[in-house]
Chain A
Amino acid sequence: MIRRLLGFGNGLMDTVGVLLGLTALWIYPHLPGSDSPVATLLFLAGVVLVLGAFAGHVAQQVNLPRITGCILVGVLINPTLPDVWPLLAGLRLVDAQQMQGLTLINDLAIGLIALMAGAEVRLSWLRARLAAILAITGVSSLLVPGLLMGALLVLPYIPGIGAIPFMDQAVAAGIPSWAVAGLAGVIFLANSPTVVVSVIKESRADGPMSQTVMGVSVVVDVLVILLFTLLMALITVMSDGQGSVATAVGQTAGSIVMSVAVGVLVGIGLAHYTEQSDHRLSWTLVGLALAVATLGPLIHLKPLFCLLAAGFACENLTRRRTTLGSHRLEAGLARVANPVFVMFFVVAGMGLNLSALMGTWVIVLALSFVRFVAVWWSTRLGAHLGGADPAVPQYGWIGLLSQAGVTLALVPIVAQRFPGWGDELATIIVAMVAVHQIIGPAAFAWAIRRAGEAAPVEAAPVRANTLGGH
């Protein structure tokens, strides 16, 4: 009884914390310098941290992952929420323009998570699970885009759904419907290593299912980027006869190779650093991730691959890697993981386009359903072909449902290149991401528990389990 009351007290105080954050957001526009983008960025980053921390605690009280709490509180202050729910019209706490400043947070989070994911991968278990990872990736890359392509071509003939706007517009622009459906199918194939890594960290999961899902999520994203580049170049050639498919693919592949090479060098440097000392390591890692994530693209580096390679090289490609060095890196990353994950997922919730979701919900739900089926089927088939552990076909597909980073990065490229149907396609994809983002993390956390790969509950303090805690 006393524990229950104490839990209620904690929940109450956490709710007070959320309310304090919301009040701060409400007061902020009345401050004289609130129109400064610099001030707004810093202020929003601070409020996002506070809101995310408390919302995460509240989510834990009802046995949900902290990530879900973070995403939901992000939805609560989402700039498009008042469009969907007019009662909240007077409570638009954050506007769309302010949201743009938060890109920096996204970049930092992506960078750190890539570094973390790379450092988690060990050659020993990678060798053991390579067959399963490649088999699932191979089957998924055929089945998921294939089924979604088919769905896009068939859905218009199903009563109650009607025409799919971007397909009609693209065909009117002279692009074959199979090419557009294929492009959409490839984007739907992408998943979210960010969600996978953060849920695994939060659950302190360790086992064949979580390791395989982490490997698949990274490899699939690499493949998605290559396939996307190929199809974009193909459609460009078909629509206006400009550019060359070979050049586009060559440039992308070259950029990936360069990113990996730079990442390996960075990783070797990082291994040297962590073998010598852990002095200010957390801050150095934050600086490294921020620098590569924000500045790397300007010199044609792809931060995701560069930092993945850095983490992997640091742990696996140096000769004299000691346990102490590995522990230092792990502890350094764990220290900054909590704030980074909280910020990333609150911002993800803030960025979901709820008005787009409301406008296209029938098509979105239909396509999401097809994607669920495709991911489930391809994971099971791939896992059987690759001889994976029994938990992988049973629960692994759930980890591949989430979509976030790569998907949302591809969307503006389509919209920018093909105004009109590209914008329509982007709207539907962003709406689908909203669905997958809300369902995915909680479902994957459940799957990890069901697979028996989560750390025992008694090992974690009552309220001490953090997103990046160990």
Chain B
Amino acid sequence: MPPDGELVALLPTAPTAVVATNLDALVLLLLGGLFALGMPRITVRGRRRFWHAWANSGLLPLLLGLAVGPTQLGWISDEASSALRPLLGLVLAAAGVLVGTQLRFAYLRGAGWGFLGRHSGSALVQFILVFVPLALAASTALPWAMALGAAGLVSACAVASTQRPPLSTEDRLPPREVVMGHVVPCGWWNVLALVGGSLALSIGFQNHELLTEQLASPPALLFGTPVVLGLVCGWLTLRAPNRDDLYLFLMAVLALSGGLALAVNAVPLFFGILVGVVLVNVAARRSTHLEGVLEELEQPLAMGTGLLAGLCLTHLVVDPWVWLLMPVLILGRWGVRGRLGPTSSAIGHLRERRFSPPGSACILLIGAAVLAPDPAPVLVVPLIAALTIATLISDVVERRAAPASEVVK
């Protein structure tokens, strides 16, 4: 058995940690403390507070991680940053499982095919409008598969949207209208965006050299493994005799999703989504319990993904052409959202709907890009810049539209 950690520094001759390692430890502990202490304040209170959307979506932790990470202040060493990558993989796979469990066939049937078709069509149009020019631009600098992957990822970020309704309308409309007019459509758009973006990354950036030696064909592994895992885990979930065991099996699902995703060279996020879809539909009887357990993970995962993605980014070298992504993304979001945006016209003004903030789905996609092989990480910085600008604008616009009494600084 490996030695326990508690006594590593017991004796004077115990490995003397180098200064950088001490600093890593201290910074990570402080960040963890900040994260833990901030959690109840951010998630329970202050829906109307200024930093709420930034923190809740994971963008603020992402910027914080980026600031103290190896690329900026360097308070975290490259070694520590690499050591955090497994954790990012696990968090992304877990987030994927969470997204996948939203795709319950029973719910989809309940929502109505017309509703789904209309919103899926809108999402696809917005996706294609950003995807096609980007793919053409990127193909001049990258191999075609990677160009498609990059375009897919950025387009998914253009589609993804926060599920919280605009501040000005939250209390004005009946809850059902808010849910059906904004929350559900945005959730559906996000699922499509996350599936599209992570699929694009899976196909575009996977390491083909490794896959030539395997026994099964790459698609069989990429799609077969999560499906089999989802089936087995669905069975496990059905076998769980109580909530504690359900919790245990879900932990196992999350860890297995992360590990197997990396072992078959898939993007953890995409892999997790497939596992989640199969699992929730196999274990439909336990879906209510599953939902209860998984709901607890939602915000910590978004914030954790942001923080870890920032800390794990090891280089900021960006080719000039990649900066073109930023205006394309902002214009893509702004240009089509007013007409195609998922919110119903009763919710918010056109201006608010057009500037709807990106939300945590984009942070998950950025996290997936950080973990993907080169050159995917070069997309990250322009994406962060674009999303920061988009969030800032949306926050300002939303606050100007909301009644002054409802805004808390």
Interface residues of A (CB under 8 A from B): 13, 17, 20, 24, 28, 30-34, 36-47, 49-50, 53, 99-100, 102-103, 106-107, 110-111, 114, 225, 228-229, 232-233, 236, 243, 247-248, 251-252, 255, 269, 273, 276-277, 279-280, 282-284, 287-288, 291-305, 334-336, 338-339, 342, 347-348, 350-352, 404-406, 408-413, 416-417, 430, 433, 461, 463-464, 466, 468-469
B13 interface residue per 8 A CB criterion: yes
Point out which of B3, B40, B247 has the most chain A C-beta atoms below 10 A from its C-beta. B3
Using A43-B259, A46-B256, A276-B40 as known contacts, say yes or no to A409 and B3 having CB atoms under 8 A apart: yes
**B184 interface hit (Cβ, 8 Å):** no
Q: Say yes or no: A412-B236 contact (C-beta < 8 A), given A32-B214, A49-B252.
A: no
Contact A413 B251 (CB under 8 A): no
Q: Which residues of B contact A284 (CB under 8 A)?
A: 36, 39
Give the chain B neighbours of A279 by CB distance below 8 A: 39-40, 43-44
Residue among A42, A243, A251 with most chain B CB within 10 A: A42
For the complex formed, measure the closest distance between the CB of A446 and the CB atoms of chain B, giving whole angstroms: 23
Which residue of chain B lies nearest to A44 when distances are taken between CB atoms in the complex? B259
Give the nearest-CB partner of A43 in chain B: B259
Tell me the complex Cα distance, A242–B232, Å: 58
Most buried by B among A37, A299, A304, A335: A299
Whether A33 lies near B7 (C-beta < 8 A) is no
Q: Which of A40, A299, A468 contacts B259 (CB 8 A)?
A: A40
Task: State A102–B1 Cα separation when bound (angstroms).
Answer: 9
Q: Which residue of A lies closest to B17 (CB)?
A: A298
A291 / chain B contacts, CB cutoff of 8 Å: 28-29, 32-33
A39 touches B260 (CB 8 A): yes
Main secondary structure on B side of the interface with A: helix
Residues of A within 8 A of B29 (CB): 291-292, 295-296, 299
Bound complex: CA of A164 vs CA of B261, how far in Å?
A: 49
Interface hub of B5, B21, B22 (most chain A Cβ within 10 A): B5
Q: Is the CB of A106 within 8 A of B221?
A: no
Cα of A270 to Cα of B249 in the assembled complex, Å: 28
The answer to whether A243 touches B12, judged by C-beta atoms less than 8 angstroms apart, is: yes
Asked whether A100 lies within 8 Å of B2 as measured between CB atoms, the reply is yes
CB atoms of B256 and A38 under 8 A apart: no
| A462, chain B: closest CB distance, angstroms | 8
Say if the beta carbon of B72 comes within 8 Å of chain A: no
Interface hits, B7-34 → A, CB 8 Å: 7-14, 17, 21-22, 24-26, 28-29, 32-33
Let me know if B248 and A303 touch, CB within 8 A: no
Q: Which of B7, B244, B296 contacts A283 (CB 8 A)?
A: B296
Q: Give a binary string over B84-101; 1 marks a CB under 8 Å from any A CB, 0 the rest.
A: 011001100100000000
Shortest CB-to-CB span from B82 to chain A, Å, is 9
Q: Does the CB pair B89–A38 fall under 8 Å?
A: yes
Residues of A near B253 (CB, < 8 A) are: 46
Specify the chain A residue showing the minimal Cβ separation from B255.
Answer: A46
Say whether A106 contacts B252, CB under 8 Å.
Answer: no
Of B56-64, B262-270, B377-385, the segment with at least 4 beta carbons within 8 Å of chain A is: B262-270
Query: What's the minimum C-beta distance from B240 to chain A, rounded to whole angstroms?
Result: 8
Contact sample, A vs B, 8 pairs, CB 8 Å cutoff? A38-B85, A38-B89, A103-B2, A103-B3, A106-B4, A252-B10, A294-B5, A296-B5
A307 to chain B, nearest CB (A): 9
B35 interface residue per 8 A CB criterion: yes
